[in-house]
Structure 1
């Protein structure tokens, strides 16, 4: 839950923060690469910052993954200009792993305080408002995978040695990081990030925790806060964490599996109906809308070169555009309601999603695609219940199953060719996103696959 003392102090001004031991407040947002960026202000200055924000360059919208500033988007084509980063004060928490600092998400506004078209939080808020106008409410939860190694521990060839390389999913893997795991669970709880479960995942040195569902904006905030919490706990135990889509070439990658559900008047539309797998007609239309727009959606939810390396058939990451009931090879995995868990449990998991996605934009495009399906009354095709990668090309074509884009050019073609997803992002932000992706691709020309993996490893 939210640190009530910090939240109350923030509401009552900077003088109330000092007795609580807060020296600075870090205001965080995510850029078009899914990389958290921030400004930290002294506690004594927070009153003014809460009212007027802090100045930042608008060019953060055209930073690529490796901090090259791209000038191919005309409205942000030069060094002049300023915007304001305004803290969302009621979301402030004191960081358990960095007790001298508080953390708060930020909203980007124009210099005069008006909405700024490149603010990802604003993009998501508009989709949530659009859903509410249609009488619909969304919930979102995350499965977050990450890799752990000892700080500075590599094999001399640019590869990292995982903290543990043994049987997956067992208590021995958790025992190898016992102190870290204990601190992480305590810190996440203190920071108001509710965890459903935590375990050692399939890959060497790979771990995963799941976050409880929340409204979309809260879910996006928590994703950024959870990553900060993991990195701080890892540092405290001499470890280094990476959420990069692929940490080591040839191994499984790290996903940020995005689970969503949609309700009307408190009823989960993905259960209790007579449609496919027990969905209502609107729930099935939501899934069908996601499936229709999936190539453009994934251009936002798995946008980096490292993301593209992760999206391989046979790795449970959803390389093919299809849906299935509890099928972990399907890009869209329907998790149905059960008598044990109840109707509210039903959700759709998006497998091709990772930490290179801006969490606000990722949820915005998922909601936009799903709303389009509901508005048009779409009907999904039959579910796929095995691995489409084992099918022949002819069988995949017969069932309308196709490989998701595997190059930057293909992803951008899908995104720019989809008016619905472009409209959700806004034309200005879409074009800024384009130039960033193209800059990343140009930087990687001539690099082999291993070099690309290494170049992204510690960005997340």
Structure 2
């Protein structure tokens, strides 16, 4: 029987798709992965053979709708319209094609989840970010962003006592110490080459505070590309480690007694042509414009709910505690690393162009499309309503009298309660996406509450 999406029925390929097919042929690519991120924050996908690539660039690959109701433990949740009946298509974005240096013969593309007729599907995370970008464009702005991830490098080892596997860090180096550079050198060089081969420009690298902890940041990009880059980054960090018989985890807190792994989100708004930074104002307080302060006002107003999307796991809340430099307080400040929103002092001589905000309650267990999209919607609400963020907090909030600065949610359940009560973000997410996300995350909170700490740590370092 002929496939209903046969080559004769397919639409003619565009220039980007033709380049993908040509590259696959000339570079010996046998499998191409179509990747998406689910509501559990897990990167999933399917792969097409080179033989079917030209067809699948048009038709996508068939996929059950139920996968967007799957949590990070592969436990399927009951969500209306996300059960055994129904199908979507994993449709790749040809402009994101990258050969995978850590998987010879394979390549990947980031994908949308679309309905069978090709229209956007209301549970597609990439579509959510695209809608946020479009809403921002209506106000005359474009977002430029970068995630700043940390991860723990080590080896997955059996527990001598017969329990679940443990993550044993690759070193016990001190923070920024040169011994950390040396001990992770071979891995780091492989990682940098792999990232740059895929078009990700490496900016900075250093060994961080935790044992085996690394921080390697990449160049900012327009919002969609920034989220795509973070998916490629996550895949590459772990793929390179696997090829070297190591294990890398971007989980927020893979080791209970060590510093956690964030993925701080840096963001600025620009004009649609990306020529002028809308956040910069040389005459403004801390070099920021009125637009920037209104955006901060939106972030502060929605931070409790935002946390459910930017810190998307039970494990996230192990690191969101006072005096852990991970932002446990709903405030902003100039270079204040204990505030949820940090105004970054410029590294460039052109301070106006370099103006940006760092959203600190953010990690790699989050779906980056939902995370960045929600941040944009929150900030946009601040711009539209001209919200005043109040005074900057330029001391450690933990030193102030209790109640002076609101605490962020202390658990995933608290964050989900805040999200469910946030009309702006719930409306932006839409009924299907919001109900699925809440169901998936509530189920994770219940599952881990029923187990001990070792169960939580194992499943997070294994998955993220």
Q: 1:133 to 1:121 in 2, by over 3 A?
A: same
Q: What does 1:3-402 align with in structure 2 at a 5 Å threshold?
A: 10-12=17-19, 14=21, 17-71=24-78, 73-76=79-82, 78-152=83-157, 156=161, 158-264=165-271, 266-337=275-346, 340=349, 342-394=351-403, 396=404, 401-402=405-406
Task: Flag structure 2 segments of 5+ consecutive residues without an equivalent.
Answer: 1-13
Instruction: Tell me how far apart the structure 1 counterparts of residues 156 and 455 of structure 2 sit (CA, whole Å).
Output: 20
Residues 152 and 376 of structure 1: is their aligned pair in 2 closer, same or farther, counting only changes over 3 Å? same
Residue aligning to 1:441? 445
Gaps of 5+ in 1: 1-6
Per-residue deviation, 1:336? 3.3
Q: Deviation at 1:391?
A: 2.3
Aligned residue for 2:428? 424
Equivalent residues of 2:167, 2:461 under 8 A apart:
no
What secondary structure is seen at the aligned counterpart in 2 of 1:413? Answer: helix
The answer (yes or no) to whether the contact 1:319–1:329 under 8 Å persists in 2 is yes
Q: Report the alpha carbon displacement of residue 9 of structure 1 after superposing the two structures with TM.
A: 8.4
Q: What is the CA–CA distance in structure 1 between the aligned matches of 2:352 and 2:291, rounded to whole Å? A: 15
Task: Compute the displacement of 1:448 (Å).
Answer: 3.0
1:264/1:16 CA distance change after superposition, 3 Å: closer
SS in 1 for 2:309: helix
- Seen in structure 2, the aligned counterparts of structure 1 residues 274 and 13 have a Cα distance that, compared at 3 Å, is closer
1:10–1:16: 8 Å Cα contact kept in structure 2? no
Q: Secondary structure at the match of 1:267?
A: coil
Distance 1:415 1:309 in 2: 19
TM-score by length of 2: 0.92
The corresponding residue for 1:412 is: 416
Q: Deviations over 1:130-170 (max 9, x none)?
A: 11121111100111100011343766565432101022212
CA distance in 2, matches of 1:319, 1:13: 44
- The whole-number CA distance in structure 1 between the counterparts of 2:299 and 2:160 is 42
Contact preservation (8 Å) 1:9, 1:17: no
2:149/2:215 contact within 8 Å kept: yes
| SS at 1:431 equivalent | helix
What are the superposed Cα offsets for residues 346-402 of structure 1, whole Å, 9 maximum, x if unpaired? 1111111111110001110000011111111112211111211232215x1xxxx21
Distance in structure 2 (CA, Å) of the matches to 1:11 and 1:423: 38
Output the CA distance in 1 between the equivalents of 2:47 and 2:138.
Answer: 36
Secondary structure in 2 matching 1:113: coil
CA contact (8 A) 1:14 1:44 kept: no
Higher mean C-alpha deviation, range 229-238 or range 243-252: 229-238
Preserved CA contact (<8 Å) 1:271 1:336: no
Residue 241 of structure 1 and its aligned partner are, at CA, apart by 0.3
Contact 2:174 2:208 in 1 (8 A): no
CA gap of 1:442–1:282, structure 2 versus 1, over 3 A, is same
Distance 1:341 1:454, change over 3 A: farther
- Report how far residue 267 of structure 1 moved: 2.4
* 2:229 match: secondary structure: helix
Contact kept in structure 2, 1:21 and 1:100, CA below 8 Å? yes
Residue 8 of structure 1: CA displacement?
7.5
- SS of 1:447's equivalent? coil
Cα displacement (A) at 1:449: 3.1
Q: CA RMSD in A?
A: 1.8
Stretch deviating more after TM superposition (441-450 or 255-264) = 441-450
C-alpha separation between the residues in 1 aligned to 2:280 and 2:20? 46
Deviation at 1:12, TM superposition (A): 4.7
Corresponding residue number in structure 2 for 1:3? none
